[in-house]
């Protein structure tokens, strides 16, 4: 009886599994390299005198749509108005 349909261990072949693992691991490596590149750019920004923390926030804001950013800012203002900023 075939394993297919039983959520089994080795539905196809060992080679298939090895291939999948290799591909994922390779992609993970690529992604990590890009993350390192991003880190480098932030270091460069810092060297140029920019405020990295704020820069991250700006990047994050641009990733959302403008409406959402403005709404969250508005909520924040309301909360701060209620509890005060001390």
CB 13, min distance to a second copy, A: 9
> What is the pattern of x (binds a second copy, CB under 8 A) and - over residues 9-28?
xxxx-x-xxx-xx-xxx-xx
Interaction of residue 1 with a second copy, rule CB under 8 A:
no
* Three-state secondary-structure class, residue 73: helix
The number of residues in the chain equals 86
Closest CA to 10 of 18, 70, 51: 18
Interaction of residue 68 with a second copy, rule CB under 8 A:
no
Q: What angle do CA 79, 82, 86 make, to 5 degrees?
A: 90
67 binds, among a second copy, DNA, none (CB under 5 to 8 A by kind): none
Interaction of residue 43 with a second copy, rule CB under 8 A:
no
Contacts of 40-45 with C-beta under 8 Å, sequence gap 24+, read none
Q: Give, as ranges, the residues between 44 and 63 that touch a second copy (CB under 8 A).
A: 44-45, 48-51, 53-55, 57-59, 61-63
């Amino acid at each position: 009886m075939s394993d297919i349909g039983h959520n089994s261990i080795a539905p196809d072949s060992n080679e298939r599994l090895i291939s999948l693992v290799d591909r994922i691991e390779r992609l993970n490596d690529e992604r990590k390299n890009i993350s390192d590149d991003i880190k480098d750019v932030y270091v460069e920004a810092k060297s140029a005198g920019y405020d990295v923390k704020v820069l991250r926030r700006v990047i994050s804001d641009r990733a959302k749509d403008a409406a959402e950013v403005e709404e969250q800012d508005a909520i924040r203002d309301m909360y701060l108005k209620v509890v005060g900023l001390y």
